[in-house]
């Protein structure tokens, strides 16, 4: 735990009134609601804190993921990400994130069995996916299909019934790879490949993506392991944009399919999980090392973002990016080196020396190298955000469950600072409305 005292009292003087207030500090934070007592008159609403994009607002107490952005630390339930990536499987990590402890042998067997046996989707899901245009973005298909699951599992509305809740969690973890693979199959015009219960979580996903005429697909163990590690690295990241969407939608007591669809929609954006796709597009646009200086110059002029760089929380390095670089080496031994890697390495070298990036603490994030690995593994670029979503589903569900069971949580409903017209009246002559 941090060594500095993180509780006490904040003494505040309001120079509008000269009054002083004692505001308790708890866990290094003040409760924004305690500002409400600070008023200039009895009918004043009270002081609000203004924090667009939640730059300095804790929206919950959580026991799931710890990040120290300055030190480049990421831990799930207290375990360093490096140790989990080296020694655990994705299903172990998903269990840990969802339940707070790593599974023992019997728990792991039962969990694996449950997830494996829920990988199939209702046959109508195939018809639903068939309805999408051939060039639909797979994330659009994923978001819509996850929402559609809500109509298949009506009992999912019973979110405060533990058994029902746990069943939907298993279903979502199990079906996410199936939906992602089916979306890909639809886009490429290939027949859907059903789940193979003999394979691991990552292996089954590879099978559903790649299987053609063979009776059973056997994934390359190096690629299967690499994908499993990538799922671990993406499994949770505390209160990011999509987790926040999950919690916000969940706070209205929507069912977990609807909440997960909202989270996946938030992930889709290019500033979040869509960045891995954009990194690849950027590297392809740059095309050769010779073009990098021009590209960097345009970034510095504010014309473009260097995709895969920067993070709201990490201001030193992203520990996931370090692990991914190691994974990339293993993958390239099997697939051959992705030629875009040279451009990526040179971009990273320049950016880490350049004053623009150094002064803004912009470092490669998880998305910078993951796309290069996915491409080497043969995934189409548009699939990349879905690969992120598969791993992150465990985190979303843990965040959702923690939120709805937290006695302090209520429906998410921020305040605003109203800066619009104060009061206006319609003209008395109604016929003049059309003059504008
Ligand atoms: N390229 C160039 N300049 C950048 C970049 C970038 N990738 N990221 C931030 N900056 C600049 C930004 O313009 C600003 O400069 P100034 O102070 O002169 O206005 C400064 O750095 C601070 O940036 P910010 O926008 O205030 O930072 P933020 O915390 O609001 O945004 C971010 C974080 C990740 C959205 C942003 O860094 C970004 O857009 N990065 C590119 C997209 C990306 O790689 N996203 C994946 C994030 S990691 C995985 C995930 O969360 O999904």
Query: Is 269 inside a domain boundary?
Result: no
- Tens of pLDDT, residues 60-109: 999 999 999 999 999 999 999 999 999 999 999 999 999 999 999 999 99
Burial class of residue 127 (count of CB atoms within 10 Å of its CB; 0-12, 13-18, 19+): exposed
| 366 CB within 6 A, ligand 1 | yes
Query: Is 407 inside a domain boundary?
Result: no
Looking at per-residue confidence, does 235 or 276 come out higher? Answer: 235
| Residue 367 falls in the annotated catalytic set | yes
Which range among 40-44, 336-340, 404-408 shows the weakest confidence by mean pLDDT?
Answer: 336-340
Pocket test residue of 310, 316, 358, 366 for ligand 1, highest count of atoms within 8 A of CB: 310
Ligand 1 atom with minimal separation from the 299 CA: 2
- Tens of pLDDT, residues 198-231: 999 999 999 999 999 999 999 999 999 999 999 9
CA gap 367, 308 in Å, rounded: 5
Q: Residue 256 C-alpha to ligand 1 middle, in angstroms?
A: 30
Query: Is 23 inside a domain boundary?
Result: yes
Q: Residue 88 C-alpha to ligand 1 middle, in angstroms?
A: 31
- Tell me the pTM: 0.94
Query: Which of 311, 329, 342, 406 is labelled catalytic?
Result: 311
Is 90 exceeded by the pLDDT of residue 30? yes
Smallest Cα–Cα separation from 330: which of 229, 232, 218, 207? Answer: 229
Listing DSSP states for 91-139 in one string gives HHHHHHHHHSS---HHHHHHHHHHHHTT----HHHHHHHHTS-TT--HH
Residue nearest to atom 31 of ligand 1 (CA): 312
Query: Is 133 inside a domain boundary?
Result: no
| Residue 311 falls in the annotated catalytic set | yes
Domains: count for the chain? 1
- Tens of pLDDT, residues 303-353: 999 999 999 898 888 899 889 988 999 999 999 988 888 999 999 999 889
Query: Is 39 inside a domain boundary?
Result: yes
| 320 CB within 6 A, ligand 1 | no
- Tens of pLDDT, residues 5-22: 789 999 999 999 999 999
Is 90 exceeded by the pLDDT of residue 236? yes
Ligand 1 atom with minimal separation from the 310 CA: 37
Q: Residue 312 C-alpha to ligand 1 middle, in angstroms?
A: 7
Q: How confident is the model at residue 120 (pLDDT cuts 50, 70, 90)?
A: very high
Is 90 exceeded by the pLDDT of residue 3? no
Question: Mean of the pLDDT values across residues 252-275?
Answer: 96
Report pLDDT for 146: 98
Query: Is 12 inside a domain boundary?
Result: yes
- Tens of pLDDT, residues 155-201: 999 999 999 999 999 999 999 999 999 999 998 899 999 999 999 99
Q: How confident is the model at residue 432 (pLDDT cuts 50, 70, 90)?
A: low
Give the residue numbers spanning the domain of 43.
Answer: 8-50
CA gap 247, 64 in Å, rounded: 14
Report pLDDT for 2: 60
% residues pLDDT > 70 (the chain): 97
Lookup result for tokens 């260097």: 306
Query: Is 172 inside a domain boundary?
Result: no
Query: Is 45 inside a domain boundary?
Result: yes
Report pLDDT for 258: 98
Residue nearest to atom 49 of ligand 1 (CA): 272
């Amino acid at each position: 735990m941090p060594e500095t005292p993180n509780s006490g009292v904040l003494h505040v003087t309001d120079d509008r009134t000269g009054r002083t207030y004692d505001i308790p500090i708890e866990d290094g934070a003040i409760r924004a609601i305690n500002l409400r007592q600070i008023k200039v008159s009895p009918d004043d609403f009270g002081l609000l804190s203004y924090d667009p994009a939640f730059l300095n607002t804790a929206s919950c107490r959580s026991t799931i993921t710890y990040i120290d952005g300055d030190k480049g630390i990421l831990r799930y339930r207290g375990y360093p990400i490096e140790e989990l990536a080296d020694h655990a499987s994705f299903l172990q990590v998903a269990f840990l994130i969802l339940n707070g402890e790593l599974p023992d042998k019997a728990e792991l067997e039962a969990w694996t069995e449950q997830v494996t046996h829920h990988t199939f989707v209702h046959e109508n899901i195939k018809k639903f996916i068939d309805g999408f245009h051939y060039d639909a973005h797979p994330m659009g298909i994923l978001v819509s299909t996850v929402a559609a699951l809500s109509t298949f599992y009506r009992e999912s509305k019973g979110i405060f019934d533990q058994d029902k809740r746990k069943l939907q969690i298993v279903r979502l973890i199990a079906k996410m790879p199936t939906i992602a693979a089916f979306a890909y199959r639809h886009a490429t015009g290939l027949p859907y490949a059903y789940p193979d219960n003999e394979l691991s979580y990552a292996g089954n996903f590879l099978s559903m993506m790649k299987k053609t005429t063979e009776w059973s697909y056997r994934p390359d163990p190096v690629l299967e392991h690499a994908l499993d590690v990538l799922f671990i690295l993406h499994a949770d990241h505390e209160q990011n944009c999509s987790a926040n969407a999950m919690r916000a939608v969940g706070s209205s007591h929507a069912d977990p399919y609807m909440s997960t669809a909202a989270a996946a929609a938030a992930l889709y954006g290019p500033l979040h999980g869509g960045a891995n796709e954009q990194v690849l597009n950027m590297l392809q646009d740059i095309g050769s090392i010779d073009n990098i200086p021009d590209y960097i110059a345009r970034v510095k002029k504010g014309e473009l973002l260097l995709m895969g760089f920067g993070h709201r929380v990490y201001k030193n390095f992203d520990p996931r990016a370090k692990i991914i670089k190691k994974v990339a080496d293993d993958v390239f031994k099997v697939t051959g080196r992705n030629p875009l890697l040279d451009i990526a390495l040179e971009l990273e070298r320049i950016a880490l020396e350049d004053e623009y990036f150094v002064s803004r603490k912009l470092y490669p994030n998880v998305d910078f190298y993951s796309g290069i690995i996915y491409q080497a593994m043969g995934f189409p670029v548009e699939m990349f955000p879905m690969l992120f979503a598969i791993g992150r589903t465990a985190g979303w569900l843990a965040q959702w469950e923690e939120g709805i069971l937290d006695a302090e949580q209520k429906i998410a409903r921020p305040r605003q600072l109203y800066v619009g017209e104060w009061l206006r009246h319609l003209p008395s002559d109604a016929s003049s409305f059309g003059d504008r």
